[in-house]
């Protein structure tokens, strides 16, 4: 009887370890982020990150490593070309985007769109 309970406890422990391990693995291999335009989840590597830096400026984060609050966007024409991009970005980053920042961002996004077209099959 005691042996049976112990075996069950061990089983449960084993499952928990397995579960947490698989969660870590998923996090490592497939970091998913949600696009702030279409709300679809995609692999982090196919999204571009827009960051609100500590200084409060908003810019495209090519490296994905910039410190600050980030929002992710698909590299598709639909999402990059969305007319509500500024509004949605302001909501996602909880900030107001200045005209200078916006112009810079639009230029950076256009540049990335061209890069995206190049890699498109």
Q: 19 vs 30, which CB is nearer to Zn ion? A: 30
The bridge status of strand 47-52 relative to strand 69-74 is antiparallel
CB of 50 closer than 8 Å to CB of 74: no
Q: 37 vs 105, which CB is nearer to Zn ion? A: 37
Across the strands, what pairs with 43?
32
Span from 12-20, 30-38, 61-69, 105-113 in contact with Zn ion (CB under 5 A): 30-38
Rounded CA-CA distance 80/49 in Å is: 12
Smallest distance from Zn ion to CB 86, Å:
15
SS3 state at 113: helix
Span from 28-36, 89-97, 99-107, 110-118 in contact with Zn ion (CB under 5 A): 28-36
Smallest distance from Zn ion to CB 9, Å:
46
Span from 3-11, 25-33, 59-67, 79-87 in contact with Zn ion (CB under 5 A): 79-87
CB of 58 closer than 8 Å to CB of 101: yes
- For position 75 contacting Zn ion by CB under 5 A, the verdict is no
The binding track of 33-52 with respect to Zn ion, each residue x by CB under 5 A or -, is: --x-xx--------------
Determine what percent of the chain falls in helix, strand and coil, rounding each to the nearest 5.
55, 20, 25
Residues found near Zn ion in the complex (CB under 5 A): 35, 37-38, 74, 79
């Amino acid at each position: 009887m005691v042996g049976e309970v112990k075996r069950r406890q061990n089983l449960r422990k084993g499952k928990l370890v397995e579960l947490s391990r698989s969660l870590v693995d998923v996090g490592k291999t497939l970091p998913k982020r949600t696009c702030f335009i279409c709300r679809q989840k995609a692999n982090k590597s196919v999204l571009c990150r827009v960051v609100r830096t500590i200084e409060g400026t908003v810019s495209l984060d090519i490296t994905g490593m910039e410190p600050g609050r980030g929002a992710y966007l698909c590299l598709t024409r639909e999402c990059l070309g969305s007319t509500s991009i500024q509004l949605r970005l302001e909501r996602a980053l909880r900030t107001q985007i200045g005209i200078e920042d916006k112009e810079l961002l639009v230029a950076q996004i256009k540049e990335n769109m061209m890069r995206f077209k190049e890699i498109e099959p």
